[in-house]
A and B are shown apart, each in its own frame.
Chain A
Amino acid sequence: MTLLETRGLSRRYGGVTAVNDVSFRLEQGEIRSIIGPNGAGKTTFVSMICGRIPPSGGAVFFEDHDITNMSPWKRVMRGIVYTFQITSIYPKLTLRENVALAVQRRLTAKPGLHLSLSPDALDAAIDEALSAVGLNNEADRLAGVLPYGHQRLLELAMGLALKPSLLVLDEPTQGLAPGDIQPFCDLIRRTAKTSTILFIEHNLKVVLDLADRITVMDRGAILAEGTPAEIERHPAVQQAYLGD
């Protein structure tokens, strides 16, 4: 079943076309990686999927509903969760509070003022999300004092706490210590049992290890798409990666 589809999706900034007429499909349960050189339009493309950036043209469908004009917070309620390329957390709040914001969003499924919430359910879900990324012992520290790699893991924990049906990760391993990369891959594989994963990644080892399928972008368009084996052999990909 197709979870996400874009039709002719475009984004122009003045005279520059960052994303040009991209039609793309993502099947439910897939782990999909988007790769491509800097400036290929990868972040702009996923930002239009999660609603951070409005498209200049085209449409986005999620579970067969047109969500092109839907606000980003409603998309989160529908299950599309995004983690930022440049870590975006609440540095002055504790890890527990950071994750609590994600958890309470999920526990209060309907919009409203949310004036009360079971503290037990909240605590349990916070511990679960922090344990998943191995930060449960740091729960009461301020997020801003963590090393950068751990801030990335915190951001991932916030994404996981929302229990997304589509988790969009923008360069998740950037800034992770080499020793943290394998546990991260294991975590994504576990998450993929319940979520579809779409991730932008520069580390090709991670891409080849995790992805079921790979989409290659270049100059705002899709250059190639296929299994890791197909992509490795693709002449245009070799050209794009090795040519310049």
Chain B
Amino acid sequence: MRQAAFRSYAFHIAVIAALFLLQYVLPAYHIGTFTRIMVYAVLAIGYNILFGYTGLMSLGHAMFFAAGAYGAGLSVYWLGFGPIAALLAGVASAFVVSLLAGIVVLRVSGVAFLIVTLMLAQAAFLATLYFNTITLGDQGIVLSLRPIEMAGLSFALSDPSVKYNVALAAFAFALLFSLWLLRSPFGRILIAVRENEARTKLLGYNTFLYRFWALVISGTLSGLSGALYCLLFAYVGASFASLQYSTLPLLYTLLGGTGVTLGPLAGTAIMYYLIDISSSFTSSYMIIVGAALLVITLWFPEGIGGWVRRFLRRKPA
């Protein structure tokens, strides 16, 4: 068991190292693309904890993504926070929003959970428009950010290489955190809730509590992604709370493979490039995305990660 744990950590760290080296070989355009992919992968990692491991399908993660983005963006714009303080403010606001959302949405499960999360997120989206004196509505806020001061050095967030490495650091944190969490006794209980909730209750677990913390962790990680996106691209607007940011992590996770720690990265990268490439041929690129999703659902229901894992005959992470 311990040897398997070592191998698993070694493999994940190797992936992070490969991403680090990638910046020295990729052309400039793809460095920008991979920066976005890593930020979105953090969102998908957060989503996977709730959907892939705990078995709760949400259509409301835009709310957590936007909570992170607005928490960071508004504290820069209105309060003059520096980038690091703003990042922390974004994560904290997503944490609070997840706590409050958890109390409401976990009263239901299954399809009702899907609908309630969707409605709550739509209400949050409309709230960003309604309070347009603060959020500047769908026009949004373009931020001017101070550089990050660290150890006597100054890093400007407009520098693509700084962006890439900040995104990589956040991605590495989210990936290793999710790996550690899901290999822990806590993670085992989340999987147990997904597989057989009735049994889990009668093993002595308050399953509501575990679903609740899974939601809070998932929402907070999604908020980290939103805060990063806002700070790295110096913008926050109502589109961050739109339905798109709820469906994308679902698609990333499905494509990458639910319940596989590296699934979100694989799913995000492939979907991002699929959209990127197909949109250069046609403005109706969503047709190509839709066709790809049909293929996945019909022939690769476990996603790429699940397919690879079965291929390697590895045990669940």
Interface residues of A (CB under 8 A from B): 50, 52, 71-74, 76-77, 81-82, 84, 88-94, 97, 100-102, 104-105, 108, 111, 113-117, 119, 123, 140, 158, 162
15 contacts between A and B (CB under 8 A): A72-B202, A77-B204, A82-B202, A84-B199, A88-B198, A90-B196, A93-B192, A93-B195, A101-B189, A101-B203, A104-B185, A105-B203, A117-B184, A117-B185, A162-B203
A114–B186 touching, CB < 8 Å: yes
In the assembled complex, the CB of B179 is this many whole angstroms from the nearest CB of chain A, namely 13
A101 to B186 CA separation, bound complex (whole angstroms): 10
Whether A116 contacts B204 by the Cβ 8 Å rule is no
Name the B residues within 8 Å of A102 (CB-CB): 203
Report A189 CB to chain B, min CB distance, Å.
Answer: 24
Segment 187-245 of B: residues with Cβ below 8 Å from A:
188-189, 191-192, 195-196, 198-207, 209, 213
Contact B206 A114, beta carbon cutoff 8 Å? no
Residue of A52, A84, A115 with highest tally of chain B CB at under 10 A: A115
**Given A101-B200, A105-B205, A119-B1, do A114 and B185 touch, yes or no (CB 8 Å)?**
yes
Closest to B217 in A: A113
A119 CA / B192 CA spacing, docked (Å):
19
- Are B202 and A50 in touch, CB under 8 angstroms? yes
A89: chain B residues within 8 A (beta carbon)? 196, 199
Most buried by B among A52, A104, A108, A116: A104
B316 touching A93, Cβ below 8 Å: yes
**Contact A71–B185 (Cβ < 8 Å):** no
> A88-B199, A91-B195, A158-B203 are known contacts; what are 8 more A-B pairs with Cβ within 8 Å?
A71-B206, A72-B201, A100-B188, A102-B203, A111-B206, A116-B185, A117-B184, A119-B1
> Is B107 at the interface (CB under 8 A from chain A)?
no
Q: Is the CB of B202 within 8 A of A52?
A: yes
Query: What's the least CB distance linking B192 to chain A, in Å?
Result: 5
Interface presence of B2 (CB below 8 A): yes
* Contact of A73 with B204 in the complex, beta carbons under 8 Å: yes
- Given contacts A89-B196, A92-B195, is CB(A108)–CB(B185) below 8 Å? yes
Question: Does B314 make an interface contact (CB < 8 A)?
Answer: no
Determine the main DSSP class of B at the interface with A: helix
Query: Closest A-chain residue to B210, C-beta based?
Result: A113
Q: Bound state CA distance, A71 and B204, in angstroms?
A: 9
Within 8 A of A (CB), among B164-179: none
Contact surface of B with A, Cβ cutoff 8 Å: 1-2, 181, 184-186, 188-189, 191-192, 195-196, 198-207, 209, 213, 315-316
Which of the residues B191, B204, B213, B316 comes within 8 Å of A105, measured between beta carbons? B204
Cβ contacts under 8 Å, B1 to chain A: 119, 123
B203 neighbours in A (Cβ, 8 Å):
73, 76, 101-102, 105, 158, 162
Residues on the B chain within 8 Å of A74, using CB = 204
Q: Contact: B185 with A76, CB < 8 Å?
A: no
Query: Nearest chain A CB to B307's CB is how many angstroms away?
Result: 16
Which A residues are CB-close (under 8 A) to B315? 94, 140
Which residues on the A side are within 8 Å of B185 (C-beta)?
A: 104, 108, 114-117
Q: Nearest CB to that of A106 among chain B residues?
A: B204
**Residue numbers in A under 8 Å from B200 (CB-CB):** 101
Find chain B residues with CB under 8 A from A108 CB. Answer: 185
Q: Which 3 A-B pairs have the closest CB atoms?
A: A76-B204, A114-B185, A105-B204
CA distance A100 to B191 in the complex (A): 12
A119-B184 Cα distance, complex, nearest whole Å: 10
Q: Which of A76, A90, A116, A140 has the most CB of B within 10 A?
A: A90
Contact present for B2 and A90 (CB under 8 Å): no
> If A94-B315, A111-B206 touch, does A73 touch B201 (CB 8 Å cutoff)?
yes
Q: Which residues of B contact A88 (CB under 8 A)?
A: 196, 198-199, 202
Chain A minimum-CB-distance residue to B5: A119
* Residues of A with C-beta under 8 A to B181: 115
Residues of A within 8 A of B199 (CB): 84, 88-90
Known: A90-B192, A93-B191, A97-B188. A113 touches B202 (CB 8 A): no
Of B184, B191, B202, B316, which contacts A76 at CB under 8 A? B202
Specify which chain B residues have a CB less than 8 angstroms from the CB of A140 in the assembled complex: 315
Q: What residues of B have a CB within 8 angstroms of the CB of A91 in the complex?
A: 195
Interface centre among A91, A113, A115 (most CB of B within 10 A): A113
A41 to chain B minimum Cβ distance, whole angstroms, is 20
Contact of B213 among A82, A90, A100, A113 (CB under 8 A): A113
Which residues of A have CB within 8 Å of B186? 113-115
Contacting residues, chain A, for B316 (C-beta < 8 A): 92-93
Bound form: Cα–Cα A88–B209 in Å: 21
**In the assembly, what is the distance between CA of A123 and CA of B192, in Å?**
18
Question: Complex Cα distance A71/B200, Å?
Answer: 13
Q: Which residues of A contact B207 (CB under 8 A)?
A: 73
- Which residues of chain A have C-beta atoms less than 8 A from B204's C-beta? 73-74, 76-77, 105, 162
Chain B residue at minimum C-beta to C-beta distance from A111: B206
Q: Which residues of B contact A162 (CB under 8 A)?
A: 203-204
Q: Give chain B residues whose Cβ lies under 8 Å from the Cβ of A158.
A: 203
A118 to B203, CA, bound (A): 20
Chain A residues contacting B2 (CB-CB under 8 Å) are 119
